[in-house]
Amino acid sequence: MINLNAEEAIASAPLPTKATLRRRQNLLFQAWRFVSLNLRMYLMVLKGNH
Amino acid sequence: MARIVILGAGISGHTAALHLRRKLSKHHDVVVVSPNSKWNWIPSNIWVGVGKMSKEQVTFPLAPIYRRRHIEFHQALATEIHPEGTTENPRAFVSVRYTDPTRAGEDATLEYDYLINATGPKLNFQATPGLGPDGGHTVSVCSAEHAVDARARLHESIEAMRQGRRQTLVIGMGHGTCTCEGAAFEYAFNVEHELRQAGVRELADVVYFTNEAELGDFGVGGMTFGQQGFETTSKLWTESIFRERGVRAVLGAHAERIEEGVIHYEQLDGTHHELAFDFAMLLPPFRGAGLSVFDRDGVDVSDKVFLPSDFMRVDGSYDAKPFEEWRASDWPETYESPAYPNVFAVGIAFAPPHQISRPRTSPAGTVITPAPPRTGMPSGVMGKTVALTIIDRIKMGETASAHHASMASMGAACVASAGTGLRKGSAAAMTMYPVVPDYQTYPQSGRSLKDTTGEIGLAGHWIKFMLHVMFIYKAKARPLWFLIPE
């Protein structure tokens, strides 16, 4: 049974902590994530039909 | 000498044209027919729609690129396909009507040996009364022009808030069968970001209005991620972003009609509601381009080649069957028309065998289910795959095997912007493998847990911007463009 009450689902979803929010905008950490995400996407392209 | 005609110059058609031209000698003709004079990197339209990019930054004229690459270009709308030619001339051809201002309204025929239908979607605003920027009450970001209009209307709303008037901004899907939920999600969060930047966020009620039964479905049935030793879902992850940013949502909704400032809608539970708005960006559902097909005697055989939705039948399995019996193998691999093997359809133009998300209807029988997305990365891969098949058949003969690229064995990277800015930007970077769940290979969630991931942060925004730069570079066929993967 689906629950169309979005307000309820959103209200009970986990909120990111202050540390998580800081990490999401931290230039050094994000530079590392940039490299890592690009590599992950590139590997995915290789794994597909190319 | 072979002549390949490509209908459409979007991501899949343009990709096919560039690869064909690169790999075939000049003895062969590569011909592109598109009613538009410009190429548009559609994923960046959302930034035009909030005023962070200009129309010129997401489009460029096609004619100079095609002239430089020796590709014949006709700015025209394809209207008919004659795959058997006529009784007098058996050569296959397409009929076109020019939209090029110098030949506007003029009809012509273009013969072909191979045809690629990459016509993309017809934006079906007519499906919902009152939907759309032309005579309706809502805006769109489907084209760069639409996005410019959306930006102007958004800024009017921001101005109203600056004068102290509360505004309700509704962003989402204009019909129960829409696709591209990811684009609506992006626009909703970019608008929310823009409102904060403008200092008026507390006066705005931002509502994401969607045909998805759950947040995080994105038309692909949602995703299960492996994250820090746990399995989590795109549902939970998306709900968390909505909570963090204070965005409301209306789920499982089909817009029945739109009047000035009011959306009348039905939900999956059969209830009917109204939602008042001051600004609404609602995407339209898609149809195929509406091409007609005639046999050599001039008899209309369109239903042999196209489904009633005007999307083209290819090598998929189109037998109606319940969700539990859907298989990855239902999805096409070669994109060849079973009726005419020298005709292909790629990108949005091919008919998907069924949805990816679980199909749902309201008690009254209204279909409220996202249509499967087949834009962006998969579109480019299909365009290249079909180009390689045609190249092999020209070089090695008609019996050369087709190249394969099923969406059930293809991964996709989706970077959903949640706000712009080199220091303040944010995006949800998601990868999934495969796009279409394969429960035989991955019984747990239909996808590889290792390769299906999601992450939010500034890095995602940098990647989205990098993709904007890279794909425009590639589409302009600049040096070594072919090294950039689809």
Question: pLDDT tens digits, residue range B141-176?
Answer: 999 999 999 999 999 999 999 999 999 999 999 999
Structure tokens at B71: 């590709």
pLDDT of residue B412: 87
d(CA B438, CA B468): 30
Q: Which residues contact B391 (CB under 8 A, 6 or more apart)?
A: B19, B20, B23, B24
Residues of chain B found within 8 Å of residue A7, distances taken between Cβ atoms: 248-249
Q: Please determine, for residue B436, whether its predicted confidence score (pLDDT) is greater than 80.
A: yes
For A15, which of B244, B429, B433 is closest by C-beta distance?
A: B244
Chain B nearest-CA residue for A34: B459
Range with the poorest average pLDDT among B123-127, B333-337, B420-424, B466-470: B420-424
* Residue pair B316/B330 in contact by the 8 Å Cβ criterion: yes
Chain B nearest-CA residue for A10: B239
Whether the CB of B431 is below 8 Å from some CB of chain A: the reply is yes
* Residue pair B385/B16 in contact by the 8 Å Cβ criterion: no
Q: Nearest to residue A11, comparing CAs of B216, B243, B381?
A: B243
For B248, which of A7, A40, A48 is closest by C-beta distance?
A: A7
d(CA B126, CA B283): 12
d(CA B209, CA A1): 20
d(CA B159, CA B30): 49
Confidence of residue A48 (pLDDT cuts 50, 70, 90): low
For A14, which of B240, B251, B433 is closest by C-beta distance?
A: B240
d(CA B194, CA B201): 9
- How close B106 comes to chain A (CA, Å)? 40
d(CA B94, CA B114): 11
Chain B nearest-CA residue for A26: B458
% chain B with pLDDT above 90 = 90
Chain A nearest-CA residue for B214: A4
For A10, which of B243, B466, B485 is closest by C-beta distance?
A: B243
Q: Please determine, for residue A1, whether its predicted confidence score (pLDDT) is greater than 80.
A: no
Rounded mean pLDDT, B223-237: 88
pLDDT of residue A41: 87
Chain B nearest-CA residue for A23: B457
d(CA B85, CA B93): 6
Whether the CB of B426 is below 8 Å from some CB of chain A: the reply is yes
Rounded mean pLDDT, A16-40: 94
Q: Which of A21, A45, A46 to mutate to test the interface with B (most CBs of B within 10 A)?
A: A45
Distances B392 to A14, B23, B263, B335 between C-alpha atoms, Å: 52, 10, 52, 15
Whether the CB of B341 is below 8 Å from some CB of chain A: the reply is no
Higher pLDDT, B416 or B245: B245
Q: Which residues contact B20 (CB under 8 A, 6 or more apart)?
A: B4, B6, B28, B30, B387, B390, B391
Question: pLDDT tens digits, residue range B254-309?
Answer: 999 999 999 999 999 999 999 999 999 999 999 999 999 999 999 999 999 999 99
Whether the CB of A44 is below 8 Å from some CB of chain B: the reply is yes
Looking up tokens 């590569």, which residue turns up?
B30
Range with the poorest average pLDDT among A40-44, B82-86, B94-98, B329-333: A40-44
Of A39-48, B220-229, B330-339, highest mean pLDDT: B330-339
Structure tokens at B387: 């180009």
* Residue pair B181/B218 in contact by the 8 Å Cβ criterion: yes
Instruction: Say which amino acid occupies B271.
Output: T
CA angle, corner B230, sides to B226 and B233, nearest 5? Answer: 60
Whether the CB of B449 is below 8 Å from some CB of chain A: the reply is no
Whether the CB of B214 is below 8 Å from some CB of chain A: the reply is yes
At A13, is the secondary structure helix, strand, or coil?
A: coil
* Residue pair B58/B44 in contact by the 8 Å Cβ criterion: yes
Question: pLDDT tens digits, residue range B323-349?
Answer: 999 999 999 999 999 999 999 999 999
* Predicted complex: ipTM over 0.90: yes
Q: Which CATH number fits domain B3-123+286-396: 3.40.640.10, 3.50.50.100, 2.40.10.120, 2.40.110.10?
A: 3.50.50.100
d(CA B183, CA B284): 12
